[in-house]
Structure 1
Amino acid sequence: MSQTAIIYRMVTPEHTCPWGLRAVDLLKRKGLKVQDHHLTTRAEIDAFKAEHGVQTTPQTFIDGKRVGGYDDLRRHFGLRVKDKKALTYTPVIALFGMAAAMALAASWAVYGNVLTVAAAEWFIAFAMSLLALQKLKDVDGFASMFLNYDLLAQRWVPYAFIYPFAEALAGVLMIAGALMWLSVPVALFIGTIGAVSVFKAVYIDKRELKCACVGGDSNVPLGFVSLTENLMMVGMAIWMVLKPASMAVGVGH
């Protein structure tokens, strides 16, 4: 016989609680019979919280016993609950994965083949542009985190605010294969300073910091990922200068 779950969740004309929807979905997927009660006014919500001594909704009761909110419900079923403060590489894995997919797609569209030199070039240029996009979403937040470890920014604060735009400029120009006289020095400059800064902070000073590489609100640990980002820019700049003349037609051609 299946268990019965009673859930009380906020559903007002102004707002439908997303955690309530997720809790109902989870209960149904676990095979429980769900009695779904909507709290439709602020008075109803406040009265429910006062009656049960809780601070938030939704609240779920299973066979008469209060389980709690959505996270409590996941724990009840033995499911993982995400720690919002935990360090994670998920943002950069997703970003580099998307950059790779875009590069392979572009190579396929242009050359009819995914395994080309241009695909590798596009991958780095797309990754640079996407990383810059993450920083540009909140330049102030990025700068605050960046100032924790970048050697040039610590000596000249405006560089922390210039960096995302410089990375975006270099990335976009490298995608287009245009103005290499500008994009190559920019990538080489910011990449070299970044690599040295990260190496010193992590591997010499042994500091445990968050990486600003995917924006100022990230929980990505500073280390290999940020070092890789900077070394990719340096490597791309050097490659664009040294690659064979027969191939020197720009990334986008």
Structure 2
Amino acid sequence: MRQLESVLQVGGDTDIAMIGALVADPGRCRILLALDDGRALPASHLAAEAGVSPATASSHLGKLTEAGLLAVEARGRHRYYHLAGPAVAHLIEALQQLAPAAPIRSLRQESRARALREARTCYDHLAGRLGVELMSAMIERGHLSGGDGTFDLARAHHDQPTGYGHDVDYTLTESGEALLTGFGLHLPICRRPVRYCVDWSEQRHHLAGALGRGLLGRFTQADWIRRTDTTRAVRLTDIGRQSLHDLFGVDLTSP
């Protein structure tokens, strides 16, 4: 009996079907997408985002939390939910890459889709056109070395069309360190401060890791970008557009 209990505790192969069943529900998918920008949101907000009743949202949140996809924290009388970690965010990005595009039936949906592709958050860093143009500009100005920011599936060894990249070892150069210091951004000491993701909408590299997280926080603090209330899209302010051009060489005026 003890031997059987020991075998049962070890477990078998991974249960992909369990995760598949969780993301098969449209309401739960909308909840995961709403949290993919790294924020913690209350159940009432997530119910409205998913278009379901508070009771249904509570059931969805319980299942996602029990499965380890979400974590919950208490703030006074309210409970706030957030993604359990970056691995969940990359799961969402991977599913977006594989899933067909949802049909656009209104001008509002078209505007929302365009905004997400232009500039959005990918968990704790910038993605979309803004994210890849920022990384490209830093490479062109010699602030990053090691790669050219492009993704070619035919030449990729470990990289996929979305998610964390592993093929290229990007390094922050001396000029890059001077740029960040002048900008008031001091990176924590870690093994790999510069990481990258393959952007699912642009199919190029955008910054992740400590550098990507630090830049998102600094841009938000400086009011260069502003988060939206209901989606992962971020809006570039006028001062942000000009400052990104002057300091980082980012030009979003061309198509």
More strand by share: 2
More helix by share: 1
Give the TM-score of the pair, scaled to structure 2.
0.23
Give the TM-score of the pair, scaled to structure 1.
0.23
